[in-house]
Structure 1
Amino acid sequence: MLCGPRHLLWLCLPLLLAGTSGQLGASRPGAGAEEEDSGRGWPGVRGLREQLREATALSKRYLSLLSCRIWPGKCEEDAAASAQSQGLEADLKGRLHGQHLAGELVLRTVRGYLELPRPDKALVLSFHGWSGTGKNFVARMLAENLYRDGLNSDCVQVFIATLHFPHPKYVDLYKEKLADQIRKTQERCRQTLFIFDEAEKLHPGLLEALRPYLERQAPEARRANSRKTIILFLSNLGGKVVNEVVLNLLKAGWSREEITIEHLEPHLQAEIVASTDSGFGNSCMVKENLIDFFVPFLPLEYRHVRLCARDAFLGQELLYTEEALDEIAKMMTYVPKEEQLFSSQGCKSISQRINYFLP
């Protein structure tokens, strides 16, 4: 016997439609002669056609309303995911400067992942670029929009290679502790975020230990598990080649905003694979395509540094002048030596520099 809530939904739908749309079987006022003739000799055809038209217009709305009554938790999850992605979009567009590629790619991939009812794997993003270009900033934005307590949430774990895994001789111990910490966090939270900073300095053994969390799950395992996991790798690796490609395009007459991921992705991946002094490029993650997207962070220009300085003043609720923003931007060192286009430190240390302009 069909008695589950999903079957009840379909059994109730005709009653809902009949009760809300009036006499669906009656002819519409002003129906033309051609329409009247089309149902002649077939009793009920005209009424059925009207019901189908009405049902097409109303069914989606009633299905949504009724399903929210039967499965309120699902609607709450959808609303939460929508709020998270809207907040993330506002932050990426309003607070992240000079990174149109990273902003668009992170928003699209995270939003799409959050909308999946049962993902078959973790979402794995690898951020690459110079220091100070916004990699940690975007990671923090993600944490702040996905969790009430941001980076302090029990569902967020941050690992810094040189701090948490400093000694290669203890790699087996690190692997055990890391696997245990990931497992416990996933058991505790339906949605988890793991951030690995200085990823290029992670021991190859540690990267191999992450494989089970990056691979696709079998269908039966996916059906039993609706938990979502986002893994971020942050690295300076590849920053040099990103800067070179951007510089060459700008010299060739391209505007910064015209640069696409297709311009950068092949060069970035080649640089990562060729990095012989790092286990990251030769890891299973890269070789087996377990990383979903390599996200390039472009070098920042003078105008972006000014915006960072403005945000630093606003963040401390301090007044500023345009002259002060220019002075702070001029304090930074710009490269290459000839073009003086890119801030060598990005926006790093900007918040400390505004102290020189306080009364």
Structure 2
Amino acid sequence: MLFRGTLWLLLLLPLRPPGVQGRHGTTSSGQEADEPTPWPSVQRLQEQLRTAGALSKRYWTLFSCTLWPEHCEDQETPVPPLGWSLPLWGRRSLDKLTAWICRFQDCCSGGDCRISNNLTGKNFVARMLVENLYRDGVRSDCVKMFIPTFHFPHPKYVDMYKEELQRQMQETQWRCHQSTFIFDEAEKLHPGLLELLEPYLERRSPEAHGAEAPRAIFLFLSNLGGSAINEVVLGLLKGGLSREEITTQHLEMPLQAEIIKSVDSSFGSSRLLKEHLVDFFIPFLPLEYRHVRLCVRDAFLGQDLPYTEEALDEIAKMMTYVPEEERLFSSQGCKSISQRINLFLP
């Protein structure tokens, strides 16, 4: 029988050594003192114990959600996939313990219950793509999504991140004949992680690894090049082209050039671009007022709320539009619209 519980380690420590003043001006030997003097080492110890307690709670949360995922569906804060923010030795120990316990009970019947990809609010096109490539869509074992600020938040742990990322990618490719790896906010990837990805994107002849070598699709989602896209689209519209007449050929080269010269990201200076390892650059045209208005309507419908045409116009006008003179494109797309409609609720 498996009992759900936690393992507690109780540390019995003296609160203060002999002779150190207490809170009420007395020493531990009972002598009076005029003013209490804080003991910094006790404060540091208390902070360390609180940190250890929080870490233990995160281990237990990850462990219990792995074994009993049905009890974690109502959590407001998602558990990081495979505990990326936990120490490497701790994650591996947790994986071994989970595997051992799963020998005695059915932890996962469908093969998808341990997948914790969270694409809420992420790129809609990426979701459409994987849902048409895989029967289980984003919940497929063959789809992995990584967000730098979530999975790789601390540069000083980049070596640990590289080891874990490589392990996950190799396991996914071993499991799947066709795998998909999505890197959201790709402009924030650490140079060391970009270097790790280079061998996976290099072109190989079928003879090198056999005709049945696993296929891998890499999607890099980024906001880089947005200003170049706006500038080219604005020029084309002023030149008489309609939005529907603008093609990828109009934008691919300016977009790539803008990404390469970007000084705020290491993505443009990586070998991924210099060696032309990225096959396609897919630009997304900026949203105009009419598109934002449709987003407002969808936000109302998504919450089963009534709306008026005047409300759609009012909320759409609240967004910021660029360039400053033309005010043609929404600078934030449709972000924050769902929060803005709350201002119009009775």
TM over 0.5: yes
TM-score normalised by length of structure 2: 0.60
Instruction: Provide the residue aligned with 2:112 in structure 1.
Output: none
SS in 1 for 2:220: strand
Counterpart residue number, 1:119: none
Deviation at 1:179, TM superposition (A): 0.9
Offset at 1:151?
2.9
For residues 294-309 of structure 1, what are the structure 2 equivalents within 5 Å?
A: 294-309=281-296
SS of 2:157's partner is: helix
User: Equivalent of 1:153, from 134, 137, 140?
Assistant: 140
Q: 1:330 — aligned with what?
A: 317
Q: Does 2:212 correspond to 1:224?
A: yes
Aligned counterpart, 1:203? 190
AA in 1 matched with 2:302: G
Q: Counterpart in 1 of 2:342? A: 355
Q: Does the alignment pair 1:237 with 2:224?
A: yes
Counterpart of 2:338, as a letter, is: S
* Uncovered stretches (5+) of structure 2, i.e. residues with no partner: 1-120
Q: Is the 8 A contact 1:135 1:297 kept in 2?
A: no
TM-score, normalised to structure 1, is 0.58
Provide the residue aligned with 1:249 in structure 2: 236
Secondary structure at the counterpart of residue 157 of structure 1:
strand
Partner amino acid, structure 1, of 2:321? Y
- CA distance in 2 between partners of 1:142 and 1:321 (Å): 34
- Structure 1 stretches of 5 or more lacking a match? 1-133
Q: Residue 136 of structure 1 corresponds to which residue in structure 2?
A: 123
Computed over aligned residues only, the root mean square deviation of the Cα atoms, in angstroms, reads 2.1
Task: Tell me which amino acid in the other structure corresponds to 1:314.
Answer: L
CA distance in 1, matches of 2:190, 2:231: 28
SS, match of residue 154 in structure 1: coil
Letter in 2 for 1:333: T
SS at match of 1:271: helix
Letter in 1 for 2:211: R
Amino acid at match of 1:223: A
Q: Structure 1 or 2: larger helix share?
A: 1
Distance 1:210 1:315 in 2: 38
Distance 1:150 1:319, change over 3 A: farther
Q: Is the 8 A contact 1:195 1:231 kept in 2?
A: yes
Aligned pair 1:164/2:164, yes or no?
Answer: no
Q: CA deviation at 1:335?
A: 1.5
Aligned residues with identical type, % of pairs: 74
- Report the CA distance shift for 1:149/1:318 in structure 2 as closer, same or farther (over 3 A): farther
Could you give the per-residue CA deviations for residues 137-171 of structure 1, whole angstroms, max 9, x where no partner exists?
21222233334443333322111112212222322
Confirm whether residue 343 of structure 1 aligns to residue 326 of structure 2. Answer: no
Q: Per-residue deviation at 1:229?
A: 2.2
What pairs with 1:122-133 in structure 2 (closer than 5 Å)?
Answer: none
